[in-house]
Amino acid sequence: MAIDPAFQLALLRHGLLIGTGVPGIYGRGPRFEAVVARLETLIGALGATAAPEMMRFPPVMARATVEQSGYVQAFPHLLGTVHCFHGDDAAHAVLVDQVTCGDATWMTAQAPTDSVLTPASCYPVYPAVAARGPLPASSHVVDVQSWCFRHEPSPDPARMQAFRQREFVFMGTPQGAAAFREAWQARAEAFARRLGLPHRLAAATDPFFGWHGEIMATLQREGGLKSELLVPISDSDNWTACISFNMHHDHFSRACGLRLANGDLAHTACVGFGLERLALALFRHHGFALEADGL
């Protein structure tokens, strides 16, 4: 990777991002936020033909859901779990001393909660829809957006730890899922052209953990389950995935019991738009002075 260090500095200098002292965790200035809002309007219009059901979830979700869906096993290095202090007055006195002295061992008293940081915006959707019972129609599409967290500290502003993802999630038949992916790949390429962004569609794999993950990545590649729309942002040699297309077969439906009216497990697929990455790509290719109303 050859990340251009001038890119991050320019984003900070133009007030688009605000440093917080943690790599990949930035504040946003008004012009950056206006571009993200404009992107959301445009993406919403792209998805409107399917008359999707809108759901919005907070940046934290049930730990049980990521345990059941296999995310913990596949991406433990990326998942952020939420921990809390459960001690008494005596333990608190120790904690106060430690924090006051700048001694980070206060964190050893933190205990797990039932929540984790949402790793991808579609994860809370499947159990929420499954809880209603079998899908009434042969297909259902949900429009979801949330903040996501992945623990991958990086100096590359296009690889943030905290970012927003807008997704459309398909639930229905296997044929419907395949058609959904095809349609969205074409729609996303037209969208990138309309935004004036250089781009390329490519087969992809997820960053599964360890040697066990290499097997999973091979299966994903051989099954043609993931593709990405790549745009050059901070590194002209390694283009950045800005939109991804994912076929899940019945992976998520099996975990939460999501079924069609005929009793079969539903197949699911999703298209995810990385809002920060798309905004950064626009500033990279149209200049740091870009205003949302120019889009």
39-68: which residues touch its own copies (CB under 8 A)? Answer: 54-65, 67
Q: 29 or 174, CB closer to its own copies?
A: 29
Give the residues across from 226 on adjacent strands. Answer: 246
Quickly tell me which residue has 């809108």 as its tokens: 54
Of the candidate spans 147-155, 183-191, 195-203, 224-232, the one that interacts with its own copies by CB under 8 A turns out to be 147-155
Contact positions with its own copies (CB under 8 A) in 214-233:
none
168-207 binders of its own copies (CB under 8 A): none
292 part of the interface to its own copies, by CB under 8 A: no
Stretch that binds its own copies, among 41-49, 114-122, 185-193, 262-270 (CB under 8 A): 114-122
Q: Which two tokens stand for residue 16?
A: 């688009």
CB 8 → its own copies: shortest distance, Å? 15
Q: What is the DSSP string of 209-258?
A: -HHHHHHHHHHHHHTT-EEEEEE-SS-SSSPEEEEEEEEEETHHHHHHT-
The count of residues in the chain is 295
Given candidates 6, 84, 202, 215, which one binds its own copies under the rule CB under 8 A? 84
255 binds its own copies (CB under 8 A): no
Q: How far is the CB of 261 from its own copies (least distance, A)?
A: 21
CA angle 161, 163, 166 (to 5 degrees): 145
Query: Which of these, 150, 123, 134, lies nearest to 69 by C-alpha position?
Result: 123
Query: Is 77 a residue that touches its own copies (CB under 8 A)?
Result: yes
Write down the least CB distance from residue 77 to its own copies, Å.
Answer: 6
Instruction: Give the burial string for 250-274 (b: 16+ CB within 10 Å, else e).
Output: bbbbbbbebbbeeeebbbbbbbbbb
Which region among 104-112, 191-199, 233-241, 258-266 touches its own copies (by CB under 8 A)?
A: 104-112
